[in-house]
Amino acid sequence: MVKKRIFCIVAAIVLIGGLAALLYADSRGDAGDRNKQGTAQIRAFIYHHFGKQDKYPSTSVSVKQFRNHLEYFKKHDYTVLPLGKALDRMYSGGDLPEKTAVLTIDDGYRSIWENAVPLLDKYGYKATIFVPAGHVGGDNYLSWEKVAGLQEKGHEIGNHSHSHPYFLNSDSGEIAEAFEADLKKAHALFRRHLGEVPDLYAYPFGEYHPEMFAVLEKYGYRAAAAQKSGVICPGSEKFALPRFPMNFHYAEMESFTEKLRMNALPVAGVKPESPVVSGENPPRLRIRVADSGIDPGGLQCFVSGQKNCTVKRSRQEGALVIQVRSRDKLDSRRTLYTITAPSADGEQWHWYSHLWVVPEIAE
């Protein structure tokens, strides 16, 4: 009896010891991964037109501005990668240099070939070019020959839909269907002209919806890019990756380098997930920030760049919960709530943006 009890006690100690060792190893592993992931960040930029600022001021950069960006990367030892390669390295935990930048170009305009490609060739940088398949070959757009030529040069081609529609104008519950129908049309063209279908997607007008995520997953897409400013990190929603938009104004060096110095705000949960404003307007955003490396006291919020919002902070199960709401009704089709916070040591800034879309408002 005594022997049996001793055996039980010894067994229990061994078991508890083993469990503790396992948990310890696990927690170390988690912390190790978190640290590794914490440093993995990608600053991605969106360009549209090059050298067309008179005609398209909100989506153009000048050739000089673009050259300045590439020169800055070179001078400051940036690693410039196509989006797919940068994501591969980030998700595999492989070698992703701290100074990694991604150049993405949406819409497939002709000025890419005329004004951007000669500079990309000169500097040896590869970009990710998202083309709306149904527009290729049209006035002002690249031809399929040129798209294939870009691919031959080592640039990455992504899908930017077939006909660049406003998918969120479909009723909720019908978005996935409209999206899938357009996706299939685009795939047929990609297959015919390039012999393959891209595995990266960029939403027309950056307007995404969680209903689309399952469709992209079904067709084997690895990731999708939105048009909300922010830094990509392992915790980013892979089907709504943030990118900093570049235009004549934002492409000036002060604004551009500010984005390069930004860090991701480590967001662990977002409510609501959908950007569609349905119900109360102005909408309420609730985000959970898991990391304690930021100074909540220095938190700021912006509505389309203006400090016109209320912020509430609270603590829940060790996480910081931030609630943001615009003071005014959102009266544009697309609005960004942006939250910035200094790091705990005050040395760096963290950034997160959430997109809101009011589909009833036409552009």
Nearer to Zn ion, 66 or 205 (CB): 205
Nearer to Zn ion, 106 or 211 (CB): 106
Nearer to Zn ion, 198 or 282 (CB): 198
Over the window 318 to 347, marking each residue x when it contacts Zn ion by CB under 5 A and - when it does not, the resulting string is ------------------------------
| Least distance in angstroms from the C-beta of 223 to Zn ion | 17
| Least distance in angstroms from the C-beta of 56 to Zn ion | 12
- Does residue 291 touch Zn ion according to CB under 5 A? no
| Least distance in angstroms from the C-beta of 142 to Zn ion | 13
Is the CA virtual torsion 63, 334, 242, 351 positive or negative? positive
Nearer to Zn ion, 107 or 156 (CB): 107
Nearer to Zn ion, 207 or 211 (CB): 207
Contact set for Zn ion, span 96-125 (CB under 5 A):
106-107
Kindly write down the DSSP assignment for every residue of 206-268, as one continuous string: G---HHHHHHHHHTT--EEE-S----B-TTS-TTSB--EE--TTTTSHHHHHHHHH-EE--EE
Is the CA virtual torsion 225, 260, 80, 294 positive or negative? negative
Is-contact 299 322, C-beta < 8 A? yes
Helix (H) or strand (E) holding 12: helix 2-39
Of 83, 124, 123, 132, the closest CA to residue 103 belongs to 83
| Least distance in angstroms from the C-beta of 196 to Zn ion | 21
Q: Which residues pair with 201 in a beta bridge?
A: 159, 224
| Least distance in angstroms from the C-beta of 164 to Zn ion | 6
Q: How many residues bind Zn ion (CB under 5 A)?
A: 2
Compute φ and ψ for 239, nearest 5 degrees. Answer: -100, 15
Nearer to Zn ion, 106 or 182 (CB): 106
Question: Measured in Å, how far apart are the chain's first and last C-alpha atoms?
Answer: 83
Is-contact 325 343, C-beta < 8 A? no
The residues, any chain, with a CB within 8 Å of residue 300's CB and separated by 6 or more, are 307, 311, 339, 340, 341
Is-contact 130 225, C-beta < 8 A? yes
Nearer to Zn ion, 245 or 282 (CB): 245
| Least distance in angstroms from the C-beta of 119 to Zn ion | 21
| Least distance in angstroms from the C-beta of 160 to Zn ion | 6
Chain residues binding Zn ion by CB under 5 A are 106-107
